[in-house]
Amino acid sequence: MFKEVSLPLAFYNRDTWLKVAFFAVCVFMAGFSLYFTDGLVSKLEEREKQQIELYAETIRYVMTSDENADINFFFERIKKINENNTIPVIWKDGSGHLNSINIPMPNQLSTEAKQDILKQKLTEIIAENNKPIEMDMGFQKEYIYYGNSKLLKLLRYYPLSQLLVVLIIGFLGYIFFSYSRRAEQNRVWVGLAKETAHQLGTPLSSLTAWVEILRNEPQVDPNIVIELSKDIQRLETITTRFSNIGSAPILKEENLEELINTFLQYLKNRISSKVNIDVISYLAPEQCARVNRYLFEWVIENICKNGVDAMSGSGNIQIILSEGKNNVIYIDITDTGKGISNKNMSKIFSPGFSTKKRGWGLGLTLAKRIVENYHEGKLILKSTEINKGSTFRISLPKPPITA
């Protein structure tokens, strides 16, 4: 039966909720701002349209009024309407001549040149999609075209700039959130590992001393001493692993094929004899990789053990070493186990996720940390197929071959 270890996952579920809540607040802020500014834009558009209509009405009145009308009064009114606004306006009279307001024009241009500039401007204004205002002069129809004021244009871009700000804040928040969570996890891992190495150290040295005493006792069966020594060696390896992960481990150039083969001799004695493990290397014989032997063995052990667990008793594990593009070495570990479901694929590297009765869900997290934090490499699930098997890929930077 599948099981998920509850406590750590509950912790990560809480994290997910926080992220979702944070994201929802960002979306709400952006949505509210868009809605609010959209309302403002519509109101301003309406006001500008009314201004231009008033302007058109005034022109029409002036142009069609009799000689007694107070023309000056109306010109003053037109000037007032245009004060403090930047709406570009082009008035096309009955003869097709273009007059303009709020369109900057160089002074020393001929009338023809000015008309050319205005024609160009007119196409730009028409593209802004404001319906031209028709002025019925009685004997002919004239048109007023108008664009959008600078304020309106700015206001249209304002929600976008706000959206950008909200996105940047959201992104920075996410980075900060992930960073502080990772920093906290790191402290827990490192602290626990150091403490474990420290706690194991004392009984281990006394055990070593006891074995030396037993070795010199003629009545003790030497096979017992040999087995005891092996177990002590195993405990020493575990202690070294923990002390390495609890500090900055020293990396050395190692021949990976040799390292893996040596380690497999040890591992094969601890797994079912019906599981066959092969190593194939396509690397140059002198190609090395910079690794910490103890930690790297731990990675291989975790991945291979998962492979064995995924098989029902028997099967094959193949470890292939090869070179990738961009100076990387690949270590592909393929098993013939039951594979990983789509649902679980994204969870297998999360601490605490396990589908096993006696699993802690730490093996892959630990392996990923070792590869990525201490070896500048990558550990991914390369492929998997239900009831066929899975391939995990470790990528390590390839150091230059030294003679």
Residues within the interface to ligand ATP (CB under 6 A): 302, 306-307, 310, 335, 337-338, 340, 344, 348, 353-356, 359-365, 390
| Dist CA 25 CA 66 (whole Å) | 64
Region of 35-43, 124-132, 223-231, 357-365 interacting with Mg ion (CB under 5 A) = 357-365
Closest separation in Å from C-beta 256 to ligand ATP? 20
Residue closer to ligand ATP, measured from CB, 44 or 362: 362
Which partner, Mg ion, ligand ATP, none, binds residue 378 by CB below 5 to 8 Å per kind? none
Which partner, ligand ATP, Mg ion, none, binds residue 354 by CB below 5 to 8 Å per kind? ligand ATP
| Dist CA 29 CA 163 (whole Å) | 9
- Asked if 306 touches Mg ion (CB under 5 A), the answer is yes
- Select from 88, 159, 351, 363 the one that contacts Mg ion (CB under 5 A): 363
Residue closer to ligand ATP, measured from CB, 125 or 371: 371
Q: Are 389 and 337 in contact (CB under 8 A)?
A: yes
Closest separation in Å from C-beta 350 to ligand ATP? 8
Residue closer to ligand ATP, measured from CB, 80 or 274: 274
Q: Among residue numbers 132 through 151, which ones bind Mg ion (CB under 5 A)?
A: none
Which partner, ligand ATP, Mg ion, none, binds residue 147 by CB below 5 to 8 Å per kind? none
Closest separation in Å from C-beta 352 to Mg ion? 12
Binding characters for Mg ion, 308-337, by CB under 5 A (x = yes): ------------------------------
Residue closer to ligand ATP, measured from CB, 170 or 359: 359
Residue closer to Mg ion, measured from CB, 45 or 309: 309
Closest separation in Å from C-beta 317 to ligand ATP? 9
Residue closer to ligand ATP, measured from CB, 152 or 303: 303
Using Cβ positions, the residue closest to Mg ion within the complex turns out to be: 363
Chain centre to alpha carbon of residue 201: 41
| Beta pairing class for 275-281 and 315-324 | parallel
Amino acid at the residue 219? Q
Which partner, ligand ATP, Mg ion, none, binds residue 355 by CB below 5 to 8 Å per kind? ligand ATP
Region of 70-78, 133-141, 319-327, 356-364 interacting with Mg ion (CB under 5 A) = 356-364
Which partner, ligand ATP, Mg ion, none, binds residue 298 by CB below 5 to 8 Å per kind? none
Residue closer to ligand ATP, measured from CB, 340 or 394: 340
Which tokens belong to 402?
């030294």
Which partner, Mg ion, ligand ATP, none, binds residue 310 by CB below 5 to 8 Å per kind? ligand ATP
* Residues of the shown chain interacting with Mg ion in the complex, contacts defined by CB under 5 A: 306, 363
